[in-house]
Amino acid sequence: MRLPKLDLNLFVVFASIYEKRNLTRAAEALFITQPAVSNALARMRRALNDPLFVSTSSGMVPTPLAENIVGRVREALQLLEASATAGDVFVPAASQRTFRLSMPDLTEAILLPTLGELLQQQAPGMNIECYFTPRNEVAAALETGKIDFAIDVPFIDDPQLRQAPLGSDRYACLLRHGHPFKGNTLSMEDYLAFGHIQVSSRRQGSGFVDAELKKLGKQRQMRMRVQHYMVAPLVALRTDLALTAPVQLLQRYDARIFELPFRLQRLEWHLYWHRSSEQDQASIWLRSQIIGLLSVPETPPAQPKRKRRAGG
């Protein structure tokens, strides 16, 4: 196969089929007919001497060759698009782009309300879709275009990815108003006497907080294990269970917030994107907004919140 004899538009069709896993949906995304997509796929199959996609009950499944070339195809297409539009000025208010982000539910809770408000004001036609991608799959998902950005802890190291540090936050302890504990500060004895909520998507195993306590020879009493950070405060607000979580989440609730009686490493986030989108103007704009929204200044230590007395 010689590249000059292969229509480069076929690679556009190839990338769309890979993303949609369906010929009809690929055609709709490209604004062409389904027979045109089928014809383009047949031409690529002959040129590359490989079926590229196999039709199954769950959609068009890529062959090993397709999996091997899709990252480079997508990168090349994005570079061509960036070159063709290098002189264009990105206008957020006119954008109709859809961006796919991967992040944990905690980051969704902190970022999406403010990001949604910003987009409503500055880029009302831009669409955001959020998914959770396991950490070991983030690099491949960014390379193949399944996602455009990922927000995760700074443990992902891949030469094809670019990253920027975002905000960090410290952990604190939340207790509901009316909790039997009446003190204004927590001792280690107080903390260990509580029943606790653990947040983990895994079926078993200790979490970050428990690993740090174990180093101190301590163990807290786990009374409930939940999958998501957004559920845990709702439980703590209606029970005597304590919740240890990042302050930015806890401050959203009318409850008492205490500094922990032991040192705990701060939670950090990084924003990741593939190097092929480095010069894409829409991507540059959105990532600058995300960095601005999550790169918050250091907050002072949390103080226990008290209910105001009637007439006070």
What is the rounded (10 degree) CA torsion for 160, 166, 171, 172?
-160
Q: Does the pLDDT at position 86 exceed 60?
A: no
Residue 280 has φ and ψ, to the nearest 5°, of -70, 120
pLDDT at 309: 47
Residues 116-125, mean pLDDT to the nearest whole number:
94
E strand residue ranges, the chain: 53-56, 59-62, 98-102, 127-131, 149-152, 161-169, 171-175, 195-199, 221-226, 242-246, 256-259, 267-274
Q: Does the pLDDT at position 72 exceed 60?
A: yes
Residues 279-294, mean pLDDT to the nearest whole number:
91
pLDDT at 82: 65
Q: Does the pLDDT at position 90 exceed 90?
A: no
Assign 311 a pLDDT band (cuts: 50, 70, 90): very low
Q: What is the mean pLDDT of the chain?
A: 86
Q: Which residues, at least 6 apart from 23, have a Cβ–Cβ distance to it below 8 Å?
A: 17, 34, 37, 38, 41, 60
Residues 217-243, mean pLDDT to the nearest whole number:
94
Buried/exposed 112-121: b ≥16 CB within 10 Å, e otherwise: beebeebbee
Assign 217 a pLDDT band (cuts: 50, 70, 90): very high
Q: Which CATH number fits domain 95-169+268-294: 3.50.40.10, 3.30.420.40, 3.40.190.10, 3.40.50.620?
A: 3.40.190.10
- Give the chain's radius of gyration (CA, Å): 25
Domain 3-84 has CATH 3.90.550.10: no
Concatenating the DSSP letter of every residue in 88-134 gives PPP-GGG---EEEEE--HHHHHHHHHHHHHHHHHH-TT-EEEEE---
pLDDT at 195: 97
d(CA 268, CA 165): 8
pLDDT tens digits, one per residue of 148-205: 999 988 877 788 899 999 878 899 999 999 999 999 999 999 999 999 999 887 666 5
Q: Does the pLDDT at position 312 exceed 50?
A: no
Q: Which residue has the higher pLDDT, 135 or 188?
A: 188
Assign 87 a pLDDT band (cuts: 50, 70, 90): low
The bridge status of strand 59-62 relative to strand 127-131 is unpaired
pLDDT at 138: 92
Q: Which residue has the tokens 């009637």?
A: 310
Assign 307 a pLDDT band (cuts: 50, 70, 90): very low
Protein fold of 171-265 = D-Maltodextrin-Binding Protein; domain 2 (3.40.190)
pLDDT at 291: 92
User: Looking at 33-37, 114-118, 308-312, which range is the least confident one?
Assistant: 308-312
Cβ contact 224:241 at 8 Å: yes
Residue % of the chain over a pLDDT of 70 = 88
Identify the CA nearest to 260 among candidates 306, 192, 163, 200. 192
Task: Spell out the domain ranges in the chain.
Answer: 3-84, 95-169+268-294, 171-265
In this chain, the answer to whether the domains covering 3-84 and 171-265 adopt an identical fold is: no
Buried/exposed 134-152: b ≥16 CB within 10 Å, e otherwise: eeeebbbbbbbbbbbbbbb
pLDDT at 262: 95
Retrieve residue 235's tokens: 């439980």
d(CA 307, CA 42): 70
| Longest CA pairwise span in the chain (Å) | 83
Residues 67-84, mean pLDDT to the nearest whole number:
78
> How many angstroms from the chain centroid is the CA of residue 258?
28
